Structure 1
Amino acid sequence: MAKEGTELERVPLARDASYERQYSSQPSVAQIEVLDEEARPSTIGKNMPAINWGDKKVSPSDLEALKTMVAREPPWKTACSLVSAYFQQNLLEDFYRRQNDIIDSLMEVDTLHSGEYIGDEVDEADERRARRAVALSFLSNIVLLVVRVSIAAVSGSLSIIVTTLDAVLDVISGSIIWSTSLARRRRNKYRFPIGQARMEPLGIIVFSCIMGTAGFSVILEAVRQLIDHAKTELPYEGAVIGGTVGVIVMKIGMYIMCRKSSNSSVQAFALDHINDVVVNSVGLVGALLGDKVAAWLDPLVAMIMSVWLIYAWGGQAYYNVMNLVGLSATPPFLQKLTYLCWNHDPRILQIDTVRAYTFGDSYLAEVDIVLPASMSVAESHDIAEELQIKLERLPDIARAFVHIDYETSHEPEHKIH
């Protein structure tokens, strides 16, 4: 989810004189303090400077026109004569795609300020479909495991044994995803004050290590068979082929059902399903080649599949380790948070720090804002609390902390471990 980025710290942003004149009609601190407690003005939905971000986006037709213009330019007039027009077109498309993504994120922030944000609303129908997809995916992995264990027991093919190892891990990782999705709906705020979302990445790390060990064992066995020129017969060939093809068809169907879901757990299962299609197809081909063509092809295919599985699950382990360590959010995401904080309330004088770092599959956000030193505790509390609520409404933010200050000349409040 997160690539290595940076954080915005000790870079105060101050309102200019024109901005202050624009909001000179806002009540003063003394006026606000004498207001009745229930009549204290809310900062949500405050009229802030509006920017029509939709006009800033590059439409697909404009982008095609730009790409056509680049293609028509002679090499010596383009950005680099050594780079082909096709490559420059791809760079151009990638640049404007990233720009449009940034604009979309800023438009999303504007809907938060206007009270029109719907990104955190729960669609009950989608939730039911997601729960059904998770349950069916988990059951399909159990069926896959039973079929693969039966086929491996009668075939003895190393390629099929590798697919069986993958099926075992699928059931284990699937049970983690399923139990995590249940835990999210059955929260115990007293036993787990911050939730159990990190159970899933922790489990993936553990079982990635198990998968790496199992894959290495298969590689050693494959090397032994290659040295000994051992040949493995493939008995019950019809049952092996039929069972494997049936599993492949089932997994294709499950992938089609899960691939369009926006739920992260369902998306994880969709990736697992298409991975099973590839692994089982290659495993069956390796077993048939070892039986029909040459005995050394079966252990060779098993070795290749084991190396690939070790690489794939090693990448998953590294990704989840980085997320648990606390990797900084990307600059565009920090830019989004800064824009949200800056347009939250006109009484915010400066933004001192904007920090976000991974917390499992989501982020923890820390924001330091500067308010007038003479502002009352009640008023500054309301500004900070409503900013925290806005930040935590973003789907990528697990928890937000807003710190209030009256100056920016101090050292950072937290030490780095």
Structure 2
Amino acid sequence: MKTNHLLAACAALSLLLSTPARADWGSCLSGLRHAAAGAGVSQETIARALGSLEPNDAVSFMDKQPEFTTPVWDYISGLVDEERVEEGRGLMHQHARSLQAAEARYGVDPAAIVAVWGVESDFGKSFGKRPVIQSLATLACEAPRRSQYFEKELMAALKILDHGDIASEEFVGSWAGAFGHTQFMPSTFLSTAVDLDGDGRRNIASSAADALGSTANYLHKSGWSHGQPWGFEVRLPDGYSGPSGRTNRQPMSSWGARGVRRIDGGSLGEGRAALLLPAGRDGPAFLVTHNFDAIYAYNAAESYALAICILSDRLRGRPGIQTPWPTDDPGLSRAERRELQALLNQRGYEVGEPDGVIGTKTKEAIADFEGRSGLKRDGRAGLKVLNALRGR
């Protein structure tokens, strides 16, 4: 009897605490409907998209983007591996006509375009499953720090639906509202998306051609220079203590005078570049040009831009990063991550079907195994724990 009273009291308290939040949601949603009408979105689209909308879990993913929270060697090893290189080369051949059209129109080479595609959605296999409208409305109402930004993106998303470029059932994407093969935010779509396949719709969700053309247009607008490299790996002189940083661009001759040399022994060339040290002076070093900045504009994270640049080099048949990362526990490829998950399952952990995605269950299983094996307990999927699972 006491238990029933306690449950009833808890239920009443829960209702009391949740009522203001639900009232705030209803009030915010009403304001968003009014704003959409003021932005010229039709009442039919507003009613269909926002009529009985409920919030989702988008806010919980803020400040957790892997490009900012993952060691750079883990981030790049999972994005630039032999599987992605092989698949990307095949897709360059399969979509050669669209890529040639995009290059002719916007001056961006196919390898760079396809590298963005590979990193953003694994060539169309990982769009995200959250309804774009729901995520953006949730963030506009429940993420005060960036509410204005997400409200602007929501208005853009509603205009996309209103225009008919993207059908509501295919308008799904990431927690932040990015969608399609190359994960455009809605405002970027409105300003940059193109109809490369000529069917009268700009549809980066169901048309790979439109997505590739739109990506080329984005890079073009961001300052991509045709025929110029994004940069290249270099070797620093012993004890280097000179300038570095993506925004500290200097003439190639200045870098040469400081003893900076291409890793392959070639000439530094002409123009200006910045010295990028993603893992400090003991790790790989790169001279990067304005084309690197064009890719950086896509998602303002150096590890993200570097992954695309290295993948584009691999798609062109060039080698990957030559200098070892400054770690004794390198990151894993997706194939190695799947192997790790399979070995965890074999030891009785339930991490699900091996898919190479290191989620909460996999991290918890790794941490438990590390604790039992005398390894540092951090839940990280690195080579040390994989070798321990292999029995090495």
TM-score, normalised via structure 1 length = 0.22
Q: Which has the higher helix share?
A: 1
Larger radius of gyration: 1
TM-score, normalised via structure 2 length = 0.23
